[in-house]
């Protein structure tokens, strides 16, 4: 085999490898797009929640979530539109704002509560509490 033919074969294999790499890259992009379509909603749209969606995730009523927003406990973006005679407020809540609210409101119980046995007096009787 001549040197020129050997160089041609090496160059041909290199171009095949780069073409295969390009095909693999495109296939990975297609796979990612199909995964988004399979899930139904693109990732950017999942970041923003409506008031009802946030209420569902928090297992609270819509009114309670709106009160949390107006009191400043839950961060939200306000979209105001004119509807009829007045101004209609619509809110969008970012998922990370919702998670931040949950993390701020979580209370970790560090010690166990009192049990009936821990209330017993030294004589073995349970003291009577007329007030509580």
**pLDDT tens digits along 61-80:** 999 999 999 999 999 998 87
Q: Which domain holds residue 85?
A: 43-106
Chain segment 108-125, per-residue pLDDT in tens: 666 666 555 555 555 666
Last residue of a domain, one of 24, 40, 56: 40
Does residue 55 sit in the same domain as residue 90?
A: yes
Q: Output the six-digit token pair for 66.
A: 């709106």
Q: Do residues 33 and 73 share a domain?
A: no
For residues 16 and 65, state if they share a domain. Answer: no
- Count other Cβ atoms within 10 Å, centred on residue 61: 10
The number of folded domains in the chain is: 2
Residues 48 and 87 both lie in one domain? yes
The CA distances from residue 49 to 24, 32, 46, 57, 94, in Å, are: 35, 23, 7, 10, 6
Is 0.85 topped by the overall pTM?
A: no
């Amino acid at each position: 085999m001549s040197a020129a033919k050997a160089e041609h074969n090496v160059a041909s294999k290199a171009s095949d490898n780069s073409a295969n790499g390009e095909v693999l890259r495109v296939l990975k992009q297609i796979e990612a797009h199909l995964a988004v379509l399979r899930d139904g909603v693109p990732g950017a749209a999942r970041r923003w929640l409506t008031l009802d969606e946030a209420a569902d995730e928090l297992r609270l009523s819509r009114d309670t979530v709106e009160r949390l927003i107006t009191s400043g406990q839950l961060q939200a973006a306000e979209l105001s539109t004119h509807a009829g005679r007045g101004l209609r407020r619509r809110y969008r809540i970012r998922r990370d704002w919702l998670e931040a609210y949950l993390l701020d409101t979580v209370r970790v119980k560090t010690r166990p509560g009192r049990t009936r046995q821990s209330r017993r007096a030294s004589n073995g009787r349970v003291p009577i509490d007329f007030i509580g």
